[in-house]
Amino acid sequence: MIGILLLLLPFLLYIAAPQIRKMLSSGVCTSTIQLPGKVAVVTGANTGIGKETAKELAQRGARVYIACRDVHKGELVAREIQNMTGNQQVLVRKLDLADTKSIRTFAKGFLAEEKHLHILINNAGVMMCPYSKTADGFEMHIGVNHLGSGVTTYSVHPGTVHSELVRHSFFMRCMWQLFSFFIKTPQQGAQTSLYCAITEGLETRSGNHFSDCDVAWVSAQGRNETIARRLWDVSCDLLGIPMD
């Protein structure tokens, strides 16, 4: 009997996968707000969670800047989003977070084009890359994920999402593939970023960490003001930015 159950287990899991994934991916941005006249920048929006976030913002009428390091990939996605949403205000600008010169050029260009930035989604990131350095000599993860992306108002964990994030690890790619039925889709992974970006009345919770469209637990180290201040100072120092 147990043998038969074990044999049936993969089949049962396969059948139940959509329900299991639904259960594991709680947190949906239910805001119905429309965003005409609003300007949004989404970094790393040429794929994964960023692409879905950009699509949803465009769907709601915002002018969306896809800030990515590969402009060709960005243009293809911009066209896809334009066709899908009917919103032609989806623009692509070059931004390589592994190069502070590129970041400054992007910021300068943006300031020349736009008077306001209403929504900034610091989405781009890397994971498990082989050891390498940014153009400024920082280790790639700290350079792109922390120094390059700057300091965000909200910190968001999207959950475990089926995307290209694991591209540098064969093992993780296999695991992601194997469990792809259970982990979030990029569209589900985009929900918490969208929730933080467009939900009205969240201002009073600024500085919190969010997951599944709700405030989430943060470790004692993550809440330590002294460590945060030191991280800020060291980051400014590394980037040659005057400390306030």
Which stretches of the chain bind ligand NAP, using CB under 6 A? 43-44, 46-50, 68-70, 95-98, 123-127, 144, 157-158, 160-161, 163-165
Three-class HEC string of the chain: CHHHHHHHHHHHHHHHHHHHHHHHCCCCCCCCCCCCCCEEEEECCCCHHHHHHHHHHHHCCCEEEEEECCHHHHHHHHHHHHHHHCCCCEEEEECCCCCHHHHHHHHHHHHHHCCCCCEEECCCCCCCCCCCECCCCCEHHHHHHHHHCCCCCCEEECCCECCHHHCCCHHHHHHHHHCCCCCECHHHHCHHHHHHHHCCCCHHHCCCEEECCEECCCCHHHHCHHHHHHHHHHHHHHHCCCCC
Q: Which is nearer to ligand NAP, 38 or 69 (CB)?
A: 69
We find the least distance from the C-beta atom of residue 21 to ligand NAP, in angstroms, to be 13
Q: Which is nearer to ligand NAP, 61 or 75 (CB)?
A: 75
Q: Which is nearer to ligand NAP, 17 or 127 (CB)?
A: 127
We find the least distance from the C-beta atom of residue 8 to ligand NAP, in angstroms, to be 30
Q: Which is nearer to ligand NAP, 61 or 141 (CB)?
A: 141
Q: Is 46 exposed, middle or buried (0-12, 13-18, 19+ CB in 10 A)?
A: buried
We find the least distance from the C-beta atom of residue 152 to ligand NAP, in angstroms, to be 11
We find the least distance from the C-beta atom of residue 3 to ligand NAP, in angstroms, to be 35
We find the least distance from the C-beta atom of residue 53 to ligand NAP, in angstroms, to be 9
Q: Which is nearer to ligand NAP, 27 or 125 (CB)?
A: 125
Q: Which is nearer to ligand NAP, 90 or 161 (CB)?
A: 161
We find the least distance from the C-beta atom of residue 196 to ligand NAP, in angstroms, to be 13
